[in-house]
Structure 1
């Protein structure tokens, strides 16, 4: 018999694990209830259910810890987040590469994978990459890559590299990370229409915690910021916005491949690849359309464009151009840091990520017309 996840039980397990009782608000609850209802309806196997439970408990526990820390240090909520840079776009368009290059500039600040997962107590500027929690994660990462070296093909991540805002906003249960764990159309459709203010307010508080002993100008990345730019700007009115562009056919194929991995882990296998194809295509189009809609309201110059083809062909020149558009100085230290990262992370370091549209019931002839508005407006390099 398939296990059923009970939300109240997971909340109590998170409280027991942390020894903490109080959440800053109940804004997380609606999304969590909708998510769990949809997940339970899938009838996932026991191993997938246990994995999902663990993820939910971790998110709730992190929320409890950040609530407690900020309640004990309320002055941190008075410290501003000034002129943060947000990178977004259709999924799989080079947002990770751009985020890693920005993080290689020693004058900038990015939320690192390990500190997103374990933010309390926050690290100092001197210990961002040497904190025992970071070192433990690096060792775990090393063992995982030794066991499954193919994982490096899919995502260029590390415990001490920047990671996506999706893992911060997951603690408010308003993020596409949760939707990727199965056929969760109810949660997806709710997420695309709900008020995201609480998720961005929590996101800001999370950064205020992280910057308490390690300040800097924030670089932030999540493709699906594209979906909620008006809300983002309500919480971060002086944010600088960067849109990455790539051939949407290639991006959609890669997006399908990544989501199929999540289904394998959390839904008992990526059995319905046609569903994955149609869902990813719909979401990719929505990302592009919502950015274009927002740009038409705010003005062309409010968003800076970066093309994946240029970023991979001449990354330093492209970053220099981006810095000029952002109004930042491209220092020798920034260039040296980026070049060192590039030297250590060639595109073929872990092999090539192979994927085909046809595997997900898609063809170039069916995908290209979906992006007619986007392709007619932006001159993206054709791949493949």
Structure 2
């Protein structure tokens, strides 16, 4: 593969690797072209890990499209009353999603099956499929080699993962932008029509639920940016917004994005600070705009402080708001997960605004509207 990434070459390689031709339309192409323009300009295109991610997304789109072509009846199976968790990045969406996933009455897209969806697993093999077992072994070795990664993201092959990795197949997700300086892609993504990405997202779930159905629990902070479009595709969706001190959240956001940039090239801390602050405020503002239009009750609020102080009580309250039964099985699953995953299990993630050219005085004004609207427990930075 050349040092300059060319969309036509990547597409041809994915088709050759899978023996498949049909991408199910070309809605992915505009985003791919804009993204590669940024990657080529910032030098990220030379990174083999990034190249592998691009290929995996193209190949998975080919595989899921082929699976649906062979099983067209799946497109008629509903995705009913899914729960979407979102918020400003680094506000507890991962913790909340992991707790929801322990409820046997719920269905979450697991990390391994998002990465390797075809053939889809059965309900009985979601955690025992050979692909899951292989990923768990790889994960164990990776964490042993880089234990500090556990500070930033509580993940596992058999834990739920973000919708970014599904919507990546339509090349409309901020996940791609987190791999380097991509200002053109970011600006395009924040203004483009996201309908095709959410339509593809639904098709993906229809593949995964073929032999493993259930009420979906889904998570992506940047759903915050596109709630109107989300409801066009999922009109009965239940929406859950997480809250946390935006000063701490922004510092944490900068930290994790710097990890992404560092994995593919040099880190420009000042750029990351400016970009993360802009994006974090945009997440908050777009949710508030949505609530102004649709009413406060259309979205359920969950506070990070409540999840930290008394997680079981916070989850019981959430279930009441969702209209779901908080069963003894759900509570036991959540408590077991909490016991196995204590806070700071892999060390504490330190938040440092100054490292990214930010300060309380520069960050707080960006969230004036948010802080005047919600009572969020201050954490300090």
Greater mean deviation of Cα atoms: 350-359 or 122-131 = 350-359
Q: Is 1:226 equivalent to 2:216 in the alignment?
A: no
Corresponding residue of 1:327: 323
Distance in 1, matches of 2:17 and 2:135, equals 20
Q: For the structure 1 residues 44 and 103, does the alpha-carbon distance in structure 2 shift closer, same or farther, using more than 3 Å as the test?
A: closer
After the TM superposition, which residues 14-25 of structure 1 pair with which residues of structure 2 at under 5 Å, given as runs? 14-25=14-25
Corresponding residue of 1:346: 342
After the TM superposition, which residues 81-100 of structure 1 pair with which residues of structure 2 at under 5 Å, given as runs? 81-100=79-98
Q: TM-score, normalised by structure 2?
A: 0.98
Q: TM-score, normalised by structure 1?
A: 0.98
Corresponding residue of 1:79: 77
Corresponding residue of 1:42: 42
Corresponding residue of 1:301: 297
After the TM superposition, which residues 233-248 of structure 1 pair with which residues of structure 2 at under 5 Å, given as runs? 233-248=231-246
Distance in 1, matches of 2:237 and 2:329, equals 24
Distance in 1, matches of 2:45 and 2:167, equals 27
Offset at residue 51 of structure 1 (A): 2.3
1:304 aligned counterpart, secondary structure: strand
* Number of residue pairs aligned between Structure 1 and Structure 2: 379
Offset at residue 43 of structure 1 (A): 2.7
Q: Deviations over 1:131-158 (max 9, x none)?
A: 0000000000000011111111100000
Offset at residue 16 of structure 1 (A): 1.2
Which segments of 5 or more consecutive residues in structure 1 lack a partner in the other structure?
A: none
Q: Deviations over 1:322-363 (max 9, x none)?
A: 000000010000000000000000012111111300000000
Detail structure 1 runs of 4+ shifted over 3 Å in the superposition.
none
**Does the aligned pair in 1 maintain the 2:247–2:364 contact within 8 Å?**
yes
1:258 aligned counterpart, secondary structure: helix
Q: Is 1:374 equivalent to 2:370 in the alignment?
A: yes
Q: Deviations over 1:303-327 (max 9, x none)?
A: 0000000011100000000000000
Corresponding residue of 1:310: 306
CA RMSD of aligned residues (A): 0.9
Corresponding residue of 1:276: 272
Corresponding residue of 1:182: 180
Corresponding residue of 1:365: 361
1:41 aligned counterpart, secondary structure: helix
Q: Is 1:10 equivalent to 2:10 in the alignment?
A: yes
Which segments of 5 or more consecutive residues in structure 2 lack a partner in the other structure?
A: none
Structure 1 residue corresponding to 2:205, chosen from 204, 207, 222 = 207
Distance in 2, matches of 1:6 and 1:366, equals 39
Distance in 1, matches of 2:179 and 2:316, equals 38
Offset at residue 19 of structure 1 (A): 1.1
Distance in 1, matches of 2:18 and 2:95, equals 35
Corresponding residue of 2:332: 336
Offset at residue 45 of structure 1 (A): 7.3
After the TM superposition, which residues 157-176 of structure 1 pair with which residues of structure 2 at under 5 Å, given as runs? 157-176=155-174
Offset at residue 55 of structure 1 (A): 1.1
Q: Deviations over 1:21-41 (max 9, x none)?
A: 111110000000000011111
Offset at residue 42 of structure 1 (A): 1.1
Corresponding residue of 2:113: 115
Corresponding residue of 2:55: 57
Offset at residue 44 of structure 1 (A): 3.7
**Does the aligned pair in 1 maintain the 2:45–2:51 contact within 8 Å?**
no
Greater mean deviation of Cα atoms: 348-357 or 139-148 = 348-357
1:241 aligned counterpart, secondary structure: strand
**Does the aligned pair in 1 maintain the 2:44–2:50 contact within 8 Å?**
no
